């Protein structure tokens, strides 16, 4: 089976996919990782195929606007404003790159922040699984962007608003892209929730020391444990209940 894994962002967004990909390759699958040009050699040196998506992320974040975006994390309003300025001009190209990267895939694994890969999989009728690196799906137990919110209902509401804020980014372009591919645009302000309700599986690849899966999450959202390339040496928080995610 040819599995294409699509991810965008920094090394922290790519390395867990390399770990998962090496595990899949050990099981006999052909694995290709589609990500930024910056990581071509990193992916290849681990024996996985590489396809380019989204140009250079390093150049993007080293630009003046990119640095402002990186430094805006203490203000969600500023963060989303800068996200729109940084990423909306690039979104159409990134979606097309991701779409083309999975045209010959038998299955797709996609970072939850990407668009295009899962939509192409939907059009082609092949399996797609989303991967998140932090517990971003709303719940009353935690809120990724507002961890100190004191009440369960407030954490859930803030988590939902954060997800809606993300999906506002380039939404008109995304809807137009789906229409162009003969797919119906998502009906709600939070397509992730629609995907989950439709039965798509999402994996959150973080350790139990970050948090267990909230009881209110549906059964098709899974906390797998941290997925790493090297678990030897250095600091350890103790044994992870899902060590199979690690790849040497």
Task: Sketch the domain layout of the chain as residue ranges.
Answer: 2-245
User: Are the CB atoms for 65 and 37 separated by under 8 Å?
Assistant: no
Per the CB < 8 A criterion, the answer to whether 69 and 90 are in contact is no
Distance separating alpha carbons of residues 12 and 223, to the nearest angstrom = 18
Tens of pLDDT along the chain (248 residues)?
Answer: 999 999 999 999 999 999 999 999 999 999 999 999 999 999 999 999 999 999 999 999 899 998 998 888 778 788 888 888 999 999 999 999 999 999 999 999 999 889 999 999 999 999 999 999 988 888 988 887 788 888 999 999 998 988 888 898 899 999 999 999 999 999 999 999 999 999 999 999 988 787 778 899 999 999 988 887 764 444 444 454 444 454 44
Rounded CA separation 123/170 (Å): 21
Q: Enumerate the H helices of the chain as residue ranges.
A: 11-26, 40-44, 57-62, 64-70, 76-101, 117-124, 152-168, 171-180, 191-197
pLDDT of the residue at 131: 95
**d(C-alpha 117, C-alpha 99), whole Å:** 5
Looking at CATH, the fold of the domain delimited by 2-245 is given as Rossmann fold (3.40.50)
Map tokens 């390093």 to a residue.
Answer: 58
pTM over 0.85: yes
- What pLDDT score does 242 carry? 45
The answer to whether 217 and 234 are in contact (CB under 8 A) is no
- Residue 27 CA to residue 41 CA, distance in Å, equals 23
Structure tokens at 58: 């390093």
CA distance 111 to 239: 25
What pLDDT was estimated at residue 231?
43
What is the structure's pLDDT at 244?
A: 45
């Amino acid at each position: 089976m040819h599995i294409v894994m699509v991810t965008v962002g920094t090394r922290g967004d790519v390395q867990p996919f390399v770990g998962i990909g090496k595990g899949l390759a050990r099981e006999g699958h052909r694995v290709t990782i589609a990500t930024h040009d910056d990581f071509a050699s990193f992916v290849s040196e681990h024996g996985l195929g590489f396809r380019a998506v989204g140009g250079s992320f390093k150049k993007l974040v080293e630009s003046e606007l990119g640095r402002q975006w990186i430094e805006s994390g203490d203000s969600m309003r500023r963060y989303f404003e800068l996200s729109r300025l940084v990423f909306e001009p690039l979104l159409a190209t990134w979606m097309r790159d991701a779409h083309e990267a999975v045209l010959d895939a038998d299955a797709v694994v996609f970072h939850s922040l990407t668009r295009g890969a899962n939509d192409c999989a939907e059009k082609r009728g092949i399996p797609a699984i989303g991967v998140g690196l932090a517990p971003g799906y709303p719940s009353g137990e935690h809120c990724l962007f507002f961890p100190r919110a004191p009440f369960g209902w407030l954490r859930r509401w803030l988590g939902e608003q954060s997800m809606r804020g993300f999906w506002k980014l380039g939404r008109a372009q995304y809807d137009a892209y789906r229409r162009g591919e003969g797919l119906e645009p998502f009906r709600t302000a939070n397509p992730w929730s629609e995907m989950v309700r439709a039965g798509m599986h999402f994996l959150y690849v973080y350790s139990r020391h970050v948090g267990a899966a909230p009881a209110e999450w549906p059964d098709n959202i899974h906390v797998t444990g941290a997925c790493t390339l090297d678990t030897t040496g250095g600091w350890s928080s103790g044994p992870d209940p899902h060590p199979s995610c690690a790849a040497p």
